[in-house]
Amino acid sequence: MSETVIEVGDRHIREINEEIQEACKTGKPIRVVDTLSRHNLGVGLPDGADITFEGSVGYYCGGLNTGSSLKIERNSGWALGEGMAKGHITVGGRAGMSCGAAMIGGTIHVKGDTGPRCGVAMKGGNIVVEGKIGYQSGFMAHAGKIIALGGAGDSCADALWEGEVWVAGEVDSLGVDVNVIEPTAEEVAEVDAILEPLGLVDPSRNWRKMVSGQRLWYFEARDASAWLMI
């Protein structure tokens, strides 16, 4: 099947996104070229579209995705896939701050590192990072899994709700109210089921599973020792 090519350059972002939305209706693969790290590309994409972004993109690419499959060949800026409901986003390089913020479903796969607060306030879905996740990743994650294969930065998994952060590799420091637990074989199998389609299963990994200590769920406002640490 032939693909539709859309050029970004210095055109207005609204015009580009309208053209992408129209191209999605044809069912053909879409290649977006000359991206120039522009912001807000591919926002609110529909179910079933297949889109490749040549080069790097700026912030909020793939935000509010409702089922498209996106491939970014190089790097992405802040808030990749923010608020996405389903679909799949792959980044060939590095993702900036707040990757997957407030997402509720789908999978984001970053082949490099991510910046700070990866998965902040996420409500579901999975984020797989082959490199290292940045400072305070998983902050206030309500649900879903962040899976980091190359370690984690400072304040990892700070103030979690019911989200989980899985790390293979070194963790610079833990955040507030984090419990590190030994995962069961069944839980590891669940993670491997996420990694298997990406070709990333490795039974030799020594996982650290991080969950909420639940102290911040119920703390008294007058208990400064609980909340002033944040």
Q: How many domains does the chain have?
A: 1
Give residue 104's identity as a one-letter amino acid code. I
Q: How confident is the model at residue 218 (pLDDT cuts 50, 70, 90)?
A: confident
Looking at 76-190, which runs of residues are DSSP E strands?
86-91, 107-110, 123-129, 143-148, 164-168, 178-181
Specify whether the CB–CB gap between 85 and 68 falls below 8 A. Answer: no
pLDDT digits (tens, 9 = 90+) for 90-115: 999 999 999 999 999 999 999 999 99
CB atoms within 10 A of CB 198: 15
Average pLDDT over residues 147-166: 97
Q: Which residue has 């639940």 as its token pair?
A: 214
What is the pairing mode between strands 164-168 and 207-212? antiparallel
The tens digit of pLDDT for each residue in 170-206 reads 999 999 999 999 999 999 999 999 999 999 999 999 9
Q: Give residue 117's domain range.
A: 4-227
What CATH number did the domain enclosing 58 receive? 2.160.20.60
Q: pLDDT band for position 229 (50/70/90)?
A: low
* Of 72, 70, 113, 107, nearest in space to 95 by CA: 113
Q: Tell me the whole-structure pTM to 2 decimals.
A: 0.95
